[in-house]
Amino acid sequence: MAAETVRVKGLRELNAALHRIDRDLGKELDKGLLEAGMLIAQNARNRFGVYDQKSAMGFRPRMRGFGRLVVEQRYRKTTGQHPEFGSLQMRKALLPARSDEEPALVAGLELMLDRLGSENGF
């Protein structure tokens, strides 16, 4: 029996391949990415809590199109008295949290894709 190999170059190709197998697989992928985004958001909350606890609780993951996970601040600017507050959040919380959680994110995504592949006969 010959072994089957699936190679995907980018997100568009992955979306097309998952869509050919089953329409709901793209939703499964988004769900897995959101779970990984929760790890990043929690790490960012822990890092930024020393600066502003309320603002730290505003970090949340969202999907912006297929396979495009973002962790963003859901609270709007309130006073405008600290114009560099957004860059402070990025430098002190969001970017370091992404760097810390990237290996776990990649490993989790690979496990999820392996699971989806095995469940669908690959």
In a domain, 11, yes or no: no
- pTM assigned to the model: 0.75
Q: Is residue 76 part of a domain?
A: yes
Query: Measured at the alpha carbon of residue 22, what is the angle toward residues 20 and 26, in degrees to the nearest 5?
Result: 95
Q: Tens digits of per-residue pLDDT, 36-90? A: 889 999 999 999 999 888 888 999 999 887 778 888 888 877 766 778 888 888 8
Query: What pLDDT, on a 0 to 100 scale, did the predictor assign at position 122?
Result: 64
Average pLDDT of the chain, as a whole number = 80
Residue 120 has pLDDT above 60, yes or no: yes
* 52, part of any domain: yes
Is there a domain that residue 3 lies in? no
Which of 50-54, 98-102, 106-110 comes out lowest in average pLDDT?
106-110
CB contact burial 66-104 (16+ within 10 A = b; e otherwise):
bbebebebeeeeeeeeeeebeeebeeebbeebbeebeee
- 4 in any annotated domain: no
* pLDDT at residue 1 tops 60: no
User: Token pair for residue 103?
Assistant: 């290996």
Of 15-19, 84-88, 102-106, the one with minimum mean pLDDT is 15-19
Give residue 119's pLDDT band: very low, low, confident or very high (50, 70, 90): confident
Separation CA 55–CA 92 (nearest Å): 13
Looking at the 3D structure of the chain, how many domains does it have? 1
Q: Which residue has the tokens 């290996």?
A: 103
Label residue 37 exposed, middle or buried (CB < 10 Å: 0-12, 13-18, 19+). buried
Domain limits for position 40: 25-119
Nearest Cα to 88, choosing from 60, 42, 56, 43?
56
